[in-house]
Chains A and B, each alone.
Chain A
Amino acid sequence: MDEALQALVEEFAEAQEEPTSRLLPLAATEGAGQDALVQLFEQVIYAVDVFSIIPVRFHLADTEDGGVAGDMEVIPASRAEIVGPVPKGVSYHDLSLIHDDGTWRCHVLIDV
């Protein structure tokens, strides 16, 4: 999940080397599969839009009730280089999260 969220950010912003000063929470209640992925992506998109931040690192872990939770280190958007269109929504179309031969692979369509 962390890597999927990182990939989302890398599509539109470069900020990995920046020191972070803030943490924002993340949580998915819809299990740990593709719907959880959608929930997490939507939370990131919401935070980017409302707080004008760019996530730099994600820290997620499974919860006892079968969900996923954690937080993300963020910086103000003004300190990042915007390199692509900003994500606005997550589509269920062709959504997949597959565990195949020891590797996780996901396919998510993001509206910009």
Chain B
Amino acid sequence: MSEDGLPVPTVVEGFANIGDDAWRVGPTDGMRVPAVLFASPALLEKVEDDAARQLMNVASLPGIVAAAFAMPDVHSGYGFPIGCVAATDVAAGGVISPGGVGFDISCGVRLIETPLTRDDLVPRLDTLMDALDVTVPRGLGRGAVWHLDGRRTLESVLREGAVAAVRAGFGDDEDLRRCEDSGVLSCAEIAEVSERAFERGLGQVGSLGSGNHFLEVQVVEQVFDERTAAAFGLFSSQVCVMIHCGSRGLGHQICSDHVRTMIGAMARYGISVPDRQLACAPVDSPDGRAYFGAMAAAANYGRANRQALTEAVRRSFRRAVGTDRLTLCYDVSHNLAKLEHHEVDGVRRLLCVHRKGATLALPPGHPDLPEELRGHGQPVLIPGSMGSASYVLAGVDPGRAFSSACHGAGRAMSRHAAARAVRGDTLRRELEDAHIAVRASSDRGLAEEAPLAYKDVDDVVATCERAGLARRIARLRPLGVLKG
């Protein structure tokens, strides 16, 4: 409220509707391009002023093209909002920003498919959850699935990602076919990874972490497109496992190291930013290249992490249910910057596309997709909040925001607010009353991830579809939740 008692307009009220659940403002006040927000009217009301301002700040970055895009699950972050896509023109001095990727580099989602139906699993669900509880390390000091024998092995993880994990016996080559980038970015530069990052990474390959990271046993509740679902390996009532985690302490350290470096370096490039967490350098500069190489190393770590955890899931299923014939639907990252060619104003350009809390959604026909998926578009994996639905989407043609889609439900409430509103033990009971088995390390961690802390994932995903970002293929709901 203003001093005279009148309601103060929210920042998003300054955005104009441009159709298909898309809203736009600018460019004004230092913005180089417009800010475009994808949201239903209900989601638009939940966009915080901070998130909208952060999006407009992103639109002021040197070399940014087209627009600063916010996905339907956008919420305020550090510098960049979470749920943001921003592409910069490399040849035009466009920048790369660690804040535009996020602390948890290559945080992502993997969906594992089983041959089981819900009816097959339910009698053995508690046994399975107990097995997962033991075999999936999470939280502080609980170790990791892959005990690296030293720095050289970690170096191979940073160079080769999920490929290194498969070579070490965690899974097989078929898994790699269903990973974004086949599980590895070839541009990793381990010389740009600090000693601290190495130390933090040594003991965490094959660990879940805590916070909003989880492993869920899920069932396919609804199929929207039978043909594409079949191509993805999905069927109604199928039991699946969704893993959400990233590059752990190593990725965080790399982000911290390079944000600090760029804060000090920006003046050399004549760059100033309204928020230090937006610190950046030209992609084509020593500092830009250094971060990009380190980021790729962290991305490889995140892919290896999820690959090692997949093996723990296979072991648990073998022990509890008698099968380890688990296959991979797909593995996506939702915190990454990639060099991609896109047409902007009729000209093909090399862009640095930042996706922070946003997922690549390659359209049908894209050559980077494995052959059996090429006719359908890339699987896009959307975890809902704990206890709510998750989704599998598919990339569409032509797509928008440089072929990007949302990454989850998006927080609607801070962790502190959620912990004040919800008791973890009460939530645990509510989930169990809803027949969702829970294995969580702390009640507070559970409370902070309560469904009421997140936006409506059904609305987020429906908005993605209406806005032409991706289309719904299947809806899954949880049977069991494992959290750090």
Contacts and interface: CB of A to CB of B under 8 A. Distances in A.
Question: Is this pair of chains taken from one and the same complex?
Answer: yes
Contact of B200 (A13, A50, A77): A50
Interface string A63-100: 00000000000001110001111101111110100000
Given A42-B256, A82-B441, A84-B444, A52 B140 contact: yes
Interface in B274-301: 275-277, 279
B253 interface: yes
Given A49-B249, A50-B199, A111-B103, A85 B78 contact: no
A102 B458 CA distance: 50
B141 interface: yes
B210 A93 contact: no
B200 A85 contact: no
Q: Is the interface of A mostly helix, strand, loop or mixed?
A: mixed
B259 A83 contact: no
B442 interface: yes
Interface residues of B, number: 36
Contacts of A95: 276
Interface string B60-80: 000000000000000001110
Interface of B: 77-79, 103-104, 139-141, 196, 199-200, 203, 209-211, 248-249, 252-253, 255-256, 259, 263, 275-277, 279, 415, 419, 441-445, 448, 484
B103 A88 contact: yes
A31 to B, nearest CB: 14
A56 B364 CA distance: 55
A88 B140 contact: no
Given A84-B448, A91-B103, 5 more contacts: A46-B196, A85-B211, A85-B415, A93-B79, A111-B252
B210 A91 contact: no
A12 B277 CA distance: 24
Contacts of A76: 141
A92 B200 CA distance: 21
A78 to B, nearest CB: 6
B447 to A, nearest CB: 9
B277 A91 contact: yes
13 contacts: A42-B256, A50-B199, A76-B141, A85-B210, A86-B140, A86-B209, A88-B104, A88-B248, A90-B256, A91-B103, A92-B277, A111-B252, A112-B210
Given A52-B141, A77-B141, A89 B442 contact: no
A1 B190 CA distance: 34
Contact of A85 (B275, B276, B484): B484
A92 to B, nearest CB: 4
Nearest to B277: A93
B78 A91 contact: yes
Contacts of A91: 78-79, 103, 277
A23 interface: no
Contacts, number: 87
A46 to B, nearest CB: 6
Contacts of A78: 141
A89 B196 CA distance: 13
Nearest to A91: B78
A50 B139 CA distance: 13
Contacts of B256: 42, 89-90
A111 B78 contact: yes
A109 interface: yes
A48 interface: yes
Contacts of A109: 78
A84 B419 CA distance: 10
Contacts of A88: 103-104, 209, 211, 248-249, 252
Query: Which interface residue of A45, A46, A77 has the most chain B CB atoms within 10 A?
Result: A46
Given A49-B200, A109-B78, A111-B103, A92 B444 contact: no
A85 B253 CA distance: 17
B275 A92 contact: yes
A92 B78 contact: yes
Contacts of A85: 210-211, 415, 442, 444-445, 448, 484
A18 to B, nearest CB: 15
Contacts of B141: 52, 76-78
Nearest to A42: B256
Contacts of A111: 78, 103-104, 252
Contacts of B445: 84-85
Nearest to A50: B199
Nearest to A39: B260
B414 to A, nearest CB: 10
A92 B277 CA distance: 5
Contacts of B140: 12-13, 48, 52, 77, 82, 86
Nearest to A78: B141
A91 B442 CA distance: 24
Contacts of B104: 88, 111
A82 B139 contact: yes
Nearest to A84: B444
Contacts of A13: 140
